[in-house]
């Protein structure tokens, strides 16, 4: 009975300690790891969210870009960080749902080593072609590719990354916002946009679904913490993120970037990651894809 009483007291102290931590959190600046290069879609959205979160919590949220291995390097850094809420991950599909299936030496398990805090945004990809490509719709592009087996090329940011804007290629997927200036200048031609509805930045452009195809062409983004982060801190972060996403400033910035805000619960975001993880496992296995070592 005495041991039981001591155990109960210990449990109560832990709960009280976590409550006190949440009440005083954050007491210093927070580091938000963006596992991508500065200026790209992930970085741009991350900075909007980080600034909004900073204003909510009254502490600076510093964006730290850690580039490499399709997001693996930055994600690993967060996994190995202290679980105290002061190092967070701005996560996306590459390092959380795709890379682990392509790289057998991935040093973390995204479903076990990270705690989902909240999904914050979705952003559709837009299908682009070089102006010299004689196709003005998705159906025409598919027909053209079938008539030229093995001859058309596409751009990729590397294994596990879905978009990249480098080199002269026939076609590519990119985020709507970074692609928009190139579309307007005529350097690329947009054929369709991903997601379940048209982009307000390109309202005349049909969706992939409207073009007769059905596949995942929408990027998703969210905040995660290292495994072991106190639940009270996770709940506090989720609440402050939701408040930040509802501010006019963040909403306006998202509209300009062609991004839709999503203030999910930790459970909803965790379910999304698991679903994407399992889906990409099936796709990669069916396609027989193999990645490179980082």
Query: Can you give the CATH number for the domain in which 64 is found?
Result: 3.40.190.150
Residue 6 is assigned to a structural domain of this protein: yes
- pLDDT at position 169 is 80
Claim to verify: residue 119 and residue 159 sit in the same structural domain: no
| Collapsed DSSP state (helix, strand, coil) of residue 31 | strand
Residues above pLDDT 90, as percent of the chain: 60
Residue 208 is assigned to a structural domain of this protein: no
Query: Can you give the CATH number for the domain in which 184 is found?
Result: 3.40.190.10
> Taking the C-alpha atoms of 260, 262, 268 and 273 in order, what is their torsion angle to the nearest 10 degrees?
50
pLDDT exceeds cutoff 70 at 103:
yes
Residue 175 is assigned to a structural domain of this protein: yes
- pLDDT at position 153 is 85
pTM of the predicted protein model: 0.82
Claim to verify: residue 80 and residue 35 sit in the same structural domain: yes
pLDDT tens digit sequence for 221-266: 999 999 999 999 999 999 999 999 999 999 999 988 888 899 999 9
Claim to verify: residue 112 and residue 250 sit in the same structural domain: yes
Claim to verify: residue 226 and residue 138 sit in the same structural domain: no
Claim to verify: residue 147 and residue 132 sit in the same structural domain: yes
- pLDDT at position 165 is 40
DSSP state of 97: I
- pLDDT at position 8 is 54
Residue 281 is assigned to a structural domain of this protein: yes
Give 200's pLDDT tier (boundaries 50, 70, 90): confident
Claim to verify: residue 109 and residue 242 sit in the same structural domain: yes
For 269, half-sphere exposure in the C-beta direction (CA atoms, 13 angstrom radius) is 30
- pLDDT at position 160 is 45
Q: Give me the number of domains the chain comprises.
A: 2
Claim to verify: residue 106 and residue 130 sit in the same structural domain: no
DSSP 60-75: -EEEEE---GGGHHHH
Claim to verify: residue 40 and residue 185 sit in the same structural domain: no
Q: Which residue has the higher pLDDT, 177 or 205?
A: 205
Claim to verify: residue 244 and residue 176 sit in the same structural domain: no
Give 164's pLDDT tier (boundaries 50, 70, 90): very low
pLDDT exceeds cutoff 80 at 22:
no
The token pair at 212 is 């007769």
Claim to verify: residue 71 and residue 31 sit in the same structural domain: yes
- pLDDT at position 156 is 63
Residue 211 is assigned to a structural domain of this protein: no
Instruction: Determine the number of helices (DSSP H) and then strands (DSSP E) in the chain.
Output: 10, 8
- pLDDT at position 229 is 98
Residue 151 is assigned to a structural domain of this protein: yes
Enclosing domain of residue 176:
124-193
- pLDDT at position 154 is 81
Residue 210 is assigned to a structural domain of this protein: no
Claim to verify: residue 91 and residue 119 sit in the same structural domain: yes
Mean pLDDT of the chain: 87
pLDDT tens digit sequence for 36-63: 988 888 999 999 999 999 999 999 999 9
Claim to verify: residue 108 and residue 238 sit in the same structural domain: yes
- Check: CB of residue 93 under 8 Å from CB of residue 107: no
């Amino acid at each position: 009975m005495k041991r039981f009483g001591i155990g109960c007291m210990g449990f109560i102290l832990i709960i009280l300690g976590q409550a006190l931590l949440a009440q005083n959190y954050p007491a210093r600046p927070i580091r938000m790891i963006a596992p991508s290069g500065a200026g790209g879609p992930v970085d741009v959205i991350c900075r909007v969210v980080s600034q909004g979160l900073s204003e909510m919590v009254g502490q600076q949220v510093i964006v730290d870009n850690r580039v490499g291995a399709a997001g693996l390097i930055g994600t690993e850094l967060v996994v190995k960080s202290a679980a105290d809420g002061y190092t967070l991950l701005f996560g996306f599909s590459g390092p959380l749902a795709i890379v682990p299936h392509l790289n057998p030496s991935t040093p973390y398990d995204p479903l076990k080593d990270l705690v989902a805090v909240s999904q914050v945004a979705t952003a559709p990809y837009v299908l682009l072609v070089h102006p010299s490509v004689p196709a003005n719709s998705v159906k025409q592009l598919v027909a053209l590719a079938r008539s030229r087996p093995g001859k058309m090329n596409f751009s990729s940011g590397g294994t596990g990354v879905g978009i990249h804007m480098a080199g002269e290629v026939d076609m590519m997927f990119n985020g709507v916002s970074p692609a928009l200036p190139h579309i307007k200048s005529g350097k690329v031609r947009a054929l369709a946009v991903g997601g379940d509805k048209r982009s307000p930045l390109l309202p005349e452009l049909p969706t992939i679904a409207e073009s007769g195809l059905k596949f995942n062409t929408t990027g998703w983004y969210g905040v995660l913490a290292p495994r072991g982060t106190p639940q009270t801190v996770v709940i506090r972060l989720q609440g402050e993120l939701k408040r930040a996403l509802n501010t006019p400033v963040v909403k306006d910035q998202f509209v300009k970037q062609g991004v839709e805000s999503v203030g999910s619960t930790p459970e909803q975001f965790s379910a999304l990651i698991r679903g994407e993880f399992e889906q990409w496992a099936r796709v990669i296995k069916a396609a027989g894809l193999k990645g490179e070592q980082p």
